[in-house]
């Protein structure tokens, strides 16, 4: 743990404590912690070993940030499942009306993209790139000795998740895939099961995104791009995440307003955290010697 990463550890500890208390309140069971625990212990051991021995400080930094992202991924996904475990009205009708006002029809867009396999493949690659973008961002920022940017990215992402989950809790939706069988995804089964109380236990290894509005993919597209501002790789990162934004409706089963809402949430997260110590100074290439 370093001075830069300490605030991230504290933030994720708070997120994990919230999960534990909410699980207890809902009497929700959790299973298959073993693989996550083993991976976490291995990363922690690598971090401490490299740091205490003085050998490979950048390897230690990479291992610690990957560990923090692993904790965030599990705790964050669990939080969204807990927020979904409520039975009440959904707001799909209003979001569909908002899409219609913008001239967007999900079914037509889904069929249009499906008619161009090359575009659909590119969209699929972009949409499923989150894990790769996390690892590559950690590697790049750690190599450039930018722990401040690693901290900023993960803090922004955590704040973005909290805002996204709060909106999802207040305005739950099932997404447009419910009415388009061709795009029906497994997340809908989990979401319906959570809302009806037929999913009393959660498998940690099978957690997936269940939030429709706002799109957390859109939040991350903005935050990944922002984290690399001023960097030599900013333009390719921005272009790739622009592609991911375009892929969200068809690949993720989202309304267009889900994407717009996610971009707004990402922007709000950035504004909220600019005053924190994790704020990065102007980009300056790190020494490698």
Q: Is 280 left (phi over 0), alpha (psi -120 to 50) or beta?
A: beta
Work out the pLDDT band at 284, boundaries 50, 70, 90.
very low
In a domain, 285, yes or no: no
In a domain, 104, yes or no: yes
Q: What does pTM read for this prediction?
A: 0.87
pLDDT value, residue 282: 42
Total domain count, the chain: 1
What is the extent of the structural domain holding 101?
3-273
In a domain, 283, yes or no: no
Mean pLDDT of 72-97: 88
pLDDT value, residue 203: 76
In a domain, 288, yes or no: no
In a domain, 80, yes or no: yes
In a domain, 102, yes or no: yes
Least confident interval from 36-40, 141-145, 184-188, 204-208: 184-188
Least confident interval from 112-116, 185-189, 215-219, 279-283: 279-283
Work out the pLDDT band at 286, boundaries 50, 70, 90.
very low
pLDDT at 231 over 60: yes
Mean pLDDT, the chain, rounded, equals: 86
Q: Is 207 left (phi over 0), alpha (psi -120 to 50) or beta?
A: beta
Work out the pLDDT band at 86, boundaries 50, 70, 90.
confident
In a domain, 94, yes or no: yes
pLDDT value, residue 181: 66
In a domain, 141, yes or no: yes
pLDDT value, residue 208: 76
């Amino acid at each position: 743990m370093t001075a830069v990463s300490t605030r991230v550890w504290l933030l994720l500890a708070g997120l994990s404590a919230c999960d534990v208390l909410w699980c207890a309140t809902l009497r929700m069971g959790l299973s298959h912690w073993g693989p996550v625990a083993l991976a976490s212990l291995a990363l922690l051991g690598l971090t401490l070993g490299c740091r205490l021995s003085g050998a490979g400080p950048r390897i230690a930094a990479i291992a610690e940030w990957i560990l923090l992202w692993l904790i965030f991924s599990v705790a964050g996904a669990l939080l969204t499942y807990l927020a979904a475990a409520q039975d009440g009205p959904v707001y799909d009708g209003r979001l569909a009306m908002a899409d219609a006002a913008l001239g967007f029809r999900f079914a037509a867009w889904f069929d249009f993209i499906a008619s161009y396999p090359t575009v659909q493949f590119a969209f699929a690659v972009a949409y499923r790139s989150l894990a790769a973008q996390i690892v590559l961002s950690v590697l790049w920022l750690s190599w450039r000795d930018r722990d401040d940017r690693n901290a900023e990215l993960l803090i922004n992402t955590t704040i973005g998740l909290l805002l996204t989950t709060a909106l999802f809790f207040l305005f739950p939706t099932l997404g447009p895939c419910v009415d388009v069988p061709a795009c029906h995804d497994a997340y809908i089964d989990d979401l319906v099961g959570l809302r009806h109380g037929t999913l009393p236990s959660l498998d940690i290894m099978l957690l997936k995104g269940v939030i429709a509005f706002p799109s957390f993919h859109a939040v991350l597209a903005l935050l990944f791009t922002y984290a690399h501002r001023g960097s030599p790789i900013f333009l390719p990162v921005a272009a790739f995440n622009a592609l991911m934004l375009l892929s969200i409706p068809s690949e993720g089963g989202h309304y267009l307003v889900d994407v717009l809402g996610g971009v707004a949430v990402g922007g709000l997260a950035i504004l909220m955290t600019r005053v924190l110590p994790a704020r990065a100074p102007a980009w300056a290439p790190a020494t490698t010697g």
